[in-house]
Amino acid sequence: MARRVLRGIVVSEGLAAGSAFVVGTPEIRAEERRLLPAEVEPELARFERALKRVREDVRAIETESRDSLGEKAGIIATYQAFLADDTHLLDPIRHAIGKDRWSAEAALVRRFREVVTELARLPEPLPSRVPDLRDIERRLLGRLAGVEAITRLDRAPRGVIICADDLSPTQTATLDPARVLAVITDRGGATSHAAIMTRHLGIPAVVGLGTLIESVRPGDFLMVDALAGEVIVGPDRDELEGFLERARRIQESTRSVELGRGRVRTRDGEEVAILANIDSGEGAGGLRELGVAGIGLFRTEFLYIGKRVAPDEEVQTRHYAALLEAMGRRPVTFRTMDFGADKWHHRIGAGEEPNPALGLRSIRLSFAHEDVFRAQIRAMLRASVKGRPRILFPMITDLAEFRRARAIVQAVAAELRAEGVPFARSIPLGAMIEMPAAALCSRAILEEADFLSLGTNDLTQYTLAVDRANPLVSESYQPWHPAVLHLVRTAAQAARRADKEISACGEMAGSERLIPLLVGAGVRHLSMAPSRISGAVAILRRLSAKDCTRLVQAMIRDGDGERARRRFDDFLSSLAA
């Protein structure tokens, strides 16, 4: 195997070496080939075998989903109808193989193309079945090529490196760190939710590789350097030995850092609280032992993703209560569901949008589906007696929007009171600052909000108009940009004046490189994926908050990305010296 190096964006740091497990059906090139007479019978048999396997696959999906068939039932019925349609779909393919002597792939692609064209011309709902038909075509081509479409990652064998074009949030939700050494993809950006999830699970990940799927075959041996952003296919022996030694050293130094009581002091004595982000439904685990000051962000939408049945009020109440109990007196910040953009979830029921990041996402979606939102708030209030919850609203623009969300909480509280259901008297309500509008209006928001939380992922995306999940523009995704720092500092100053807490919970808060900027902008609460805590603690202990403040002031004064970047690089070099 010839050695090759692919370069991408690091989204979750670490080193791993192992064999490639290619996920999904790679684009299969249909062999447009004419058969020799002797090949016709075997080719027909090959087609029938592939058809049988795909029918079995669909049956397996049906059996697995039996308890929650609901919306899936219609889709499965469509698949089964297509797969049983001898006259219209399958016989013409058999004919093209048997009589016209086309290879199975060529016969299949041609017939599917014709049927898609016919369907598209018919009245609704038939044209909307086209994606189902395409999926069947892909499955058949996959089976002909001996490749299976794999959707659940918890079925991956142990000790593999997941290679994919991209991972959906649902797939990422089934990642099992006990099985998976690393995740590498062709697409995706540093703050996509797949990235956040791998970071949360502590699985090294590199995205945006671009040519991975065309360069890697299942079983290829890979070295993933998710520090430098490199994937080496077919490394040589010496290289591998050096790499494994490096991995061992990093693991040891990470273990030796420990946190204490959730507060760290900078070199010049400023106290910074360390909180944890929880991005999945699995609960608090060992967070208390790790010593965090609390949960700064629980992305509750991950309770929905990957589940066959949307969690109802009861399920949510149990989950929230368990988390609160596990954290004892330490606060748990429940962010209300933040669906939309790359965290799309069909169960909430919104339609496809041309521009989802600017569309009906997040709190807007909650307002549009108030029943789902209310059920979530009811669950949070009912669980509130178990600990110290805080409720955080995502994507708030201004005070009016915050008030609207708060009014719903108050209405739900009144409802529970009338029902005689107990809940905590005072639950702090906060607003995420993740849009420039909110940062600029933070003083007014703080008139009524109890705390603020900076979502630097979206704040960067919306300030610089750069899609956080698009590798084509990842160069322009610059959380250190003076414009972003200006907004962060504006909100931090407003919070300080109002004597209220502001924390940062975007990926910046767990980035060893970017933490100096948050400290310099006046943020003293950082919430991050547990896997990032040891690195963050180590860097905070080496920082002077005063130097960071001067740095951020100067970068904002620079007012230019390039100038500010150079200044920032110099600062980082002096820190490393």
Catalytic sites, residue numbers: 193, 505
Residue type, position 3, single letter: R
Stretch that binds Mg ion, among 174-182, 218-226, 407-415, 456-464 (CB under 5 A): 456-464
- With vertex at residue 265, the alpha carbon angle to CA 259 and CA 266, rounded to the nearest 5 degrees, is 120
Q: How far is the CB of 425 from Mg ion (least distance, A)?
A: 29
Q: Which long-range contacts (CB under 8 A, 24 or more apart) does 557-561 make?
A: 558/482, 559/482, 560/482, 561/478, 561/481, 561/482
Q: Which does 456 bind (CB under 5 to 8 A by kind): ligand PEP, Mg ion, none?
A: ligand PEP
Q: Minimum Å distance from CB 10 to ligand PEP? A: 17
- Examine residue 455 and tell whether it contacts Mg ion (CB under 5 A): yes
Q: CB of residue 280 vs ligand PEP: minimum separation in angstroms?
A: 12
Nearer to Mg ion, 243 or 373 (CB): 373
The CB-of-490 to ligand PEP minimum distance in angstroms stands at 16
Instruction: Calculate the CA dihedral of residues 413, 418, 422, 425 and round it to 10 degrees.
Output: 40
CB 169, min distance to ligand PEP, A? 11
Residue 532 touches which of Mg ion, ligand PEP, none (Cβ within 5-8 Å per kind): none
Q: Which entry of ligand PEP, Mg ion, none binds 342, CB below 5 to 8 A by partner kind?
A: none
* Shortest Å, Cβ 50 to ligand PEP: 41
Binding-site partner at residue 299 among Mg ion, ligand PEP, none, CB < 5 to 8 Å by type: ligand PEP
- Give CA–CA dist 552/15, Å, rounded: 32
The residue among 22 and 167 lying less far from ligand PEP, judged by its C-beta, is 167
If binding is defined by CB under 5 A, does position 225 make contact with Mg ion? no
On whether the CB atoms of residues 525 and 296 are closer than 8 A, the answer is yes
Enumerate binding residues for ligand PEP (CB under 6 A): 191, 297, 299, 338, 434, 455-458, 505-506
Phi and psi (nearest 5°) for 380?
-65, -45
Return the exposure string of 304-322: e unless at least 16 CB atoms fall within 10 Å of the residue's CB, then b.
bbbbeeebeeeebbebbbe
| Choice between 432 and 536, CB closer to Mg ion | 432
Task: Write the CB contacts of 479 (distance below 8 Å, at least 6 apart in sequence).
Answer: 456, 460, 506, 507, 508, 511, 514, 517
533 with 276: CB under 8 angstroms? yes
Q: Which is nearer to ligand PEP, 108 or 195 (CB)?
A: 195
DSSP 197: H
* Interface characters, 424-443, with Mg ion (x: CB under 5 A): ----------x---------
Residue 104 binding partner per list ligand PEP, Mg ion, none, with a CB distance cut-off of 5 to 8 Å that depends on partner kind? none
Which does residue 505 touch among Mg ion, ligand PEP, none (CB within 5 to 8 A, set by kind)?
ligand PEP
DSSP classification of residue 140: H
Can you spell out the DSSP letters for 474-501? GGG--TT-HHHHHHHHHHHHHHHHHT-E
- 511 versus 544: smaller Cβ distance to ligand PEP: 511
**What is the C-alpha to C-alpha distance for residues 86 and 105, in angstroms, rounded to an integer?**
17
Distance in Å, CB of 459 to ligand PEP, minimum: 7
> Nearer Cβ to Mg ion, position 104 or 452?
452
Nearer to ligand PEP, 18 or 202 (CB): 202
From the list 13, 186, 279, 458, which residue makes contact with Mg ion (rule: CB under 5 A)? 458
Nearer to ligand PEP, 457 or 544 (CB): 457
CA distance 57 to 61: 6
Angle in degrees, 0-180, between the axes of helices 130-144 and 40-64, rounded to the nearest 10: 120
The contacts of residue 430 (CB under 8 Å, 6+ apart) are: 333, 390, 391, 392, 393, 449, 450, 451, 452, 453
DSSP conformational letter for 34: B
Say if strands 230-233 and 4-7 run parallel, antiparallel, or are unpaired.
antiparallel
Query: Closest separation between CB of residue 262 and Mg ion, Å?
Result: 24
CB of 387 closer than 8 Å to CB of 324: yes
Q: Which residues bind Mg ion (CB under 5 A)?
A: 434, 455, 458
